[in-house]
Structure 1
Amino acid sequence: MNGMKNIVFRVSLVVLALMAVSCKEKSQDVAMATNTATKERPNIIYIMADDLTTQAISAYGGIYKDIAPTPNIDRIASEGMLFQDVLCTNAICGPSRAAILTGNYSNRNGYYKNESGGKFDRSQWTFPQEFQKNGYQTSLFGKWHLGTEPAGFDTFKYHNSAGQQGHYWNPTFNENGKDVKEEGYSTNLSTDFAMQWLQEGRKQDAPFMMVLQYKAPHRPWQPDTKYEDLWEDIEMPYPSTFNDDYKGRELTAGDTEMTMEYFSRRDMKYKEPENLKGKEKIQWAFYGAKKGEIVQPEGMTAEEGRKWRYQTYIKDYLACVKSVDDNIGRVLKYLDDNNLADNTIIVLTSDQGFYLGDHGFFDKRFIYEESIRMPFILKYPGVVKPGTQNEDIITNIDFAPTLLDLADIETDQDMHGKSFEPILKGNTPADWEQGMYYHYYEWPYWHHVQPHYGIRTQKYTLAHFYYNIDVWELYDLEKDPEQMNNIINDPAYATVVTDLKKQLKNLMIKYENNKSLADFRKITDTDFGSIVDKKDDETSVQDVLTGGNDKEKGK
């Protein structure tokens, strides 16, 4: 009898405990709903690192997560939502930034490519202007890379050297229209400017929207001094597709200049001879970027040299990411110390993905997974449930309408993008788009990647490479997530191809880009100008490497 009482007592305790957990969860849900209804307008800090990829963020897992963890970025994920399927509509720096700012595809915002892509049209609407118009204090620090002066910011300080790519060390910034030379490491400096504005430059009684965009970890991957030899004594692991032979993809993935054979002396940190100037200086630094120019220590075999270049590259890249993570930690600490964390939205993203030796590549551009898949993490206490993940297809054109929604800013601006605010609250709309239209236009400089368009669904990638070839590719992402097998001619997928081409056509119509191949090639061939105004006597890297004829180089 006593045994039976003991059992009943224990069961009662379990029931009470479960009821307590249930009540706690319900109270948390009620609190989140209450916070959503009563919260003051949130501050927003939008952080974008250039060429940062999911493979380099430990919250996403991967082969570097234990060797090169990113604890501060991971903290944003643990306190917010990590997105697994945020995709870039045109995987290259400037066009992606333009798409994010405008909420529109390249064909509407007019910014198609980096090289000969001209300057971003600053007269068009961008989301920072809408924030500014609605009483937000707005600021921009770090990389801009769009040619024209930023619009919609009360204050800005952006990289304004090397074609607005900026320099890692002792960079020149444009501070509200005036060039200023700064001393130090760019990742630290950009955060310094942001912190100074947060502490001294803004009004304390109004919401703010701050854009913090790091140059790192963009090429040439120059780490802060304290991290230069961080992994000197270890051999970094190799991606599983490092030795991809491009079988079945010879004219596309197999015909690029972004493999381990195309790192330059500058990339590999060779010491530059003294007294080099002008064209001679550029030729020395970029030796290795052209076919047949292999940079490696004497005595190495081809395979040893390939691995040596990868090891140099990946250690420098990840060391640059470490500084980004450190500086994000500085921002998070400031918010905590100043009681701002609970009402500040933090966004962490990049302008696209990047190859870290995957498929033997560096850089981006392709519709393939490592290129188009963007890191995206969002924290908003009281609204976004901590530690959650999402796998819906979201694109970079969706960022602008979403940020406006979160700030409760109404706009009549027409955008291709759509707000995913409901997804942040755990409710994916029934009509949410199940596929993404992709289009890359630049050719052949840089990296000799064929212009192509396509559709990416959660199960398939279908692409058409069209500039001077006519090649279709299909990948089954469930059976072949590494995209090693082009199954476009597999009869078993004939119906799939027909259906995907129909979906692709509908998306091209929806986004007003249902043009002929001749029209697409014309965009590629058009010289829209340089991102910066060049002096008549200035020699560009492109001129040196192509002999002034980049079309000839592409043959």
Structure 2
Amino acid sequence: MSRPSLPLILIVSFLGFRGIAVGADPPMNLLVIQTDEHNFRTLGCYRDTLPADQALIWGEDAVVETPAIDSIAARGAICTSFYATSPVCTPSRASLFSGLYPQRTGSPQNNLPMNSDVVTFAEVLRADGYATGYAGKWHLDGPGKPQWQPRRKFGFDDNRFMFNRGHWKQFELTDDGPRVAARNARDQPTYGVEGADEKSFSTDWLADRAIEFIRKNSAGPFCYHLSLPDPHGPNTVRPPYDDMYMDRVIRSPMTFSMVKDNPAWAAPQGKNGTMQFNAASMARYFGMVRCIDDNVGKILKVLDQLDLTDRTMIVFTSDHGDLCYEHGRLNKGNPYEGSAKVPMLLAAPGVVPAGTRIDHALGTVDFMPTVLSLLGKDVKQEFDGRDASGFFRGTPPADWNDITFLRAAGAGPPSWLAAVTDRYKLVVSTSERPWLFDLQSDPNELKNAIGQEENRQTVRRLAKELMGYGESSAEPQFKKGPLMEQLQSLSKVDDSASN
């Protein structure tokens, strides 16, 4: 895997332009549907990969039906260990769009604008003759809020419905373009949901914009990114989804009250570390997910009507998770599964065999090189991420190293880093002793297994992998020493044990 040097200079070259030749099969379209702060357990296809105690953490009755999203997994691939390279909005998105670690993009934390010389997968496809467009939250152009149609397009030619920041609930079209429909007395945009319906509610409205683009560009090829601001809070949604799950018995996760031994990097939230569980809020979160699924179904139906299903690669993913009360916490920003693990589904008829399951650790940084390879693009570009297309095609590479790296958001002082495999997760932090989670024997992430004799070689290997990542990736968290010092000590664990 080659890596770019700093300052970041990306050069994209092709082995010849691939426009649509007369009589040739058209290139496959790309449709990416990305949600925001989405707990993977709310999707039926992910619950199907888990034992009951992990699939039903909010109770046997607390289940969201997601047939449309599940159908993408059934027709293609599901990644069971796909992680946000940095589990916060801006840095995770920067990695997904660029194939680079966040610290190389200029966006290692929220609201920092991505470097203008970053080349995205949309720019690669645009240069190769694709019509490109984007609707929804972007969060890569600095602090502007909502900031419609950012000047820097990063390859998305039609970005009329792209807004930079915010989790708005209602939109409308005006003579001056799109705007947030909910307004206060001073005519400022608000997160109000009152009066929202199937035409104005954010998820519906943005899905309709995607459908308009697909219809207009049905001759293809096209690349469209639909970025939905839900199910990120505030946990509100339009009728009938607002009370669709209110009659369900929803309980707090088992780990909710088991917070006294949380690592310092995930201290329990709430007054005095005692958070109150809100079943009604979770019911509305489920409602947001169901609304998303219904709109995914609406889009899939249009693809069928236009005979585009077999010509379109469909991706469903999210920028990061939401703990949804696991470990006494909400939201994201730490390496716990509910925060860092995200959905990744990919269907591509004729390319990805139906029913493919990928149980290897991948990250958002791997998305761009993998998708471009699956689309058959011969792109000579330097990535930090890896091309995992072999797993999707059903031909896994024999020499694959099952590992991905996670980092705390931020460009400032060191915080935490993690090395993750399909089974193990090593977390080093400046605020806490090192932790090793064995996700097979301890899926709830309650026990620190770093001192167990049988894990010595695993700890040593993961520590060395993290050291290699830090030294080769311009990781600023290594600059002041404490994380490197921990890793150096862990990498010698076998040597110390034999003395």
Interval of TM-score (by shorter of Structure 1 and Structure 2): 0.7 to 0.9
Aligned equivalents of 1:350, 1:192: Cα separation in 2: 19
The 3-state SS of whatever aligns with 1:355 is coil
Q: Is the 8 A contact 1:353 1:374 kept in 2?
A: yes
The change in CA–CA distance for 1:441 and 1:231 in structure 2 (over 3 A counts) is closer
Matched residue type, 2:213: W
* Matching of residue 454 in structure 1 with residue 418 in structure 2: yes
Aligned equivalents of 1:329, 1:241: Cα separation in 2: 33
The change in CA–CA distance for 1:188 and 1:101 in structure 2 (over 3 A counts) is same
* Matching of residue 478 in structure 1 with residue 440 in structure 2: yes
Q: Is the 8 A contact 2:81 2:359 kept in 1?
A: yes
Q: How does 1:110-509 map to 2 (within 5 A)?
A: 110-114=106-110, 117-147=111-141, 149=150, 150-158=153-161, 160=163, 164-170=165-171, 180-182=179-181, 184-200=200-216, 202=217, 204-247=218-261, 249-253=262-266, 255-257=267-269, 261=270, 291=271, 306-307=276-277, 309=278, 311-442=279-410, 451-466=415-430, 469-490=431-452, 493-509=455-471
The change in CA–CA distance for 1:516 and 1:174 in structure 2 (over 3 A counts) is farther
1:81 paired residue among 63, 72, 77: 77
The 3-state SS of whatever aligns with 1:306 is coil
The 3-state SS of whatever aligns with 2:80 is strand
Matched residue type, 1:339: D
1:218 shift after superposition = 0.7
The 3-state SS of whatever aligns with 1:362 is coil
CA deviations over 1:44-96 (Å, ceiling 9, x no partner): 10110111221110111122786311010011111111111112211111111
Matched residue type, 1:98: A
Aligned equivalents of 2:458, 2:389: Cα separation in 1: 32
The change in CA–CA distance for 1:492 and 1:336 in structure 2 (over 3 A counts) is closer
Aligned equivalents of 1:320, 1:508: Cα separation in 2: 38
* Matching of residue 70 in structure 1 with residue 66 in structure 2: yes
* Matching of residue 511 in structure 1 with residue 473 in structure 2: yes
The 3-state SS of whatever aligns with 1:356 is coil
The 3-state SS of whatever aligns with 2:156 is coil
- Structure 2 gap segments, 5+ residues each: 1-23, 48-54, 143-149, 182-198, 484-499
RMSD: 2.8
Q: Is the 8 A contact 1:172 1:180 kept in 2?
A: yes
Aligned equivalents of 1:187, 1:508: Cα separation in 2: 39
1:514 shift after superposition = 7.2
Matched residue type, 1:190: L
Aligned equivalents of 1:101, 1:237: Cα separation in 2: 37
Aligned equivalents of 2:114, 2:280: Cα separation in 1: 34
1:122 shift after superposition = 3.0
Q: Is the 8 A contact 2:29 2:223 kept in 1?
A: yes
Aligned equivalents of 1:250, 1:519: Cα separation in 2: 20
Aligned equivalents of 1:482, 1:146: Cα separation in 2: 33
* Matching of residue 51 in structure 1 with residue 37 in structure 2: yes
The change in CA–CA distance for 1:385 and 1:516 in structure 2 (over 3 A counts) is closer
The change in CA–CA distance for 1:232 and 1:256 in structure 2 (over 3 A counts) is closer
Aligned equivalents of 1:459, 1:198: Cα separation in 2: 40
The change in CA–CA distance for 1:80 and 1:358 in structure 2 (over 3 A counts) is same
Q: Greater helix percent: which structure?
A: 1
CA deviations over 1:4-24 (Å, ceiling 9, x no partner): xxxxxxxxxxxxxxxxxxxxx
The change in CA–CA distance for 1:514 and 1:170 in structure 2 (over 3 A counts) is closer
CA deviations over 1:152-205 (Å, ceiling 9, x no partner): 112013454xx7114112469999xx65455721001101111112223x3x43
Aligned equivalents of 2:132, 2:120: Cα separation in 1: 12
Which structure has the larger Rg?
A: 1
Aligned equivalents of 2:39, 2:25: Cα separation in 1: 33
1:400 shift after superposition = 0.7
1:389 shift after superposition = 1.3
1:491 shift after superposition = 5.1
Query: How many residue pairs align between the two structures?
Result: 424
* Matching of residue 100 in structure 1 with residue 96 in structure 2: yes
The change in CA–CA distance for 1:500 and 1:250 in structure 2 (over 3 A counts) is closer
Q: Is the 8 A contact 1:171 1:186 kept in 2?
A: no
The 3-state SS of whatever aligns with 1:44 is strand
Q: Is the 8 A contact 1:88 1:96 kept in 2?
A: yes
Q: Is the 8 A contact 1:488 1:497 kept in 2?
A: yes
CA deviations over 1:339-388 (Å, ceiling 9, x no partner): 11111111000012221222222111111222221101111112211122
Q: Is the 8 A contact 2:31 2:313 kept in 1?
A: yes
The 3-state SS of whatever aligns with 2:26 is coil
Q: Is the 8 A contact 2:246 2:280 kept in 1?
A: no
Percent identity (aligned):
27
Aligned equivalents of 2:347, 2:281: Cα separation in 1: 31
Q: Is the 8 A contact 2:92 2:319 kept in 1?
A: yes
Aligned equivalents of 1:306, 1:450: Cα separation in 2: 31
The change in CA–CA distance for 1:386 and 1:39 in structure 2 (over 3 A counts) is farther
The change in CA–CA distance for 1:341 and 1:502 in structure 2 (over 3 A counts) is same
The 3-state SS of whatever aligns with 2:139 is coil
1:426 shift after superposition = 0.9
Matched residue type, 2:250: M
- Further displaced range: 409-418 or 511-520: 511-520
